[in-house]
Amino acid sequence: MTDARSRLIVALDLPGRAEALDAVGQLAGRVGCFKLGLEIFVREGPGLVEEVLRRGERVFLDLKLHDIPNTVAGAVRSAGRLGVHMLTLHASGGRRMLEAARDAATSMSPPPILLAVTALTSLSEEETRSIGITESVAAWVERLAGVACDAGVTGLVASPLEVTGLRRQYGDRLKIVTPGIRAAGAEAQDQSRTAGPGQAILSGADYLVVGRPILRAPDPGAAADLIVGQIEDALRARAPY
């Protein structure tokens, strides 16, 4: 698999097991990883994770864990035993929670990559103010990223609009996974902070999460290949950091 292909993660935000496995069948070998989120995991359970893994594909389990440290550590161990490649948790859970998750992950072989979610890409400045965040979204993201980095978490989830600042601050110390990817002219839908694939990679994203632009395309495989090509072009043009 090419480096560009390995950086594309497809979000299987689909009604159920049959649709998810059909998408995996269409896209196997053309993308780097498949993301299973909260909705489909609650509906289908660990069995779907195991089925995708049996097909030789990587799984990004996007549950955004946020609980007391002991509970989150246990959930990380459970996910690790399933064999997931990536796992999310909220940076806003605080340093002790993040450290407990880190310790649980590093006790396993191979350890799942832990990704701390900073600010959800659906949040606008108006919404963050309504929940008591007085600083800008970018400043809030950078503060949460600092907590995650200090706790030894492997990487971050951040929108395309915050990637440049995070990369400038942390260099290659953290992997950055970026959702909110939309082609030029596409509807943002429920995302507030979006960018195109090339722009996100040029800004410093390591991995891109794409769902509807691929899954709702007339030919999902061709749509994935197009995005991979844009990633490849951006990687060639990107300055080292």
Residue 9 near residue 209, CB atoms below 8 Å: yes
Query: Could you give the CA distance from residue 11 to residue 54 in angstroms, rounded to a whole number?
Result: 18
Q: Using alpha carbons, select from 168, 112, 111 the residue that is nearest to residue 141.
A: 168
Given 17, 58, 64, 212, which residue is catalytic? Answer: 64
35 tagged catalytic? no
Task: Identify residue 74 by its one-letter amino acid code.
Answer: G
Residues with a catalytic annotation lie at 64
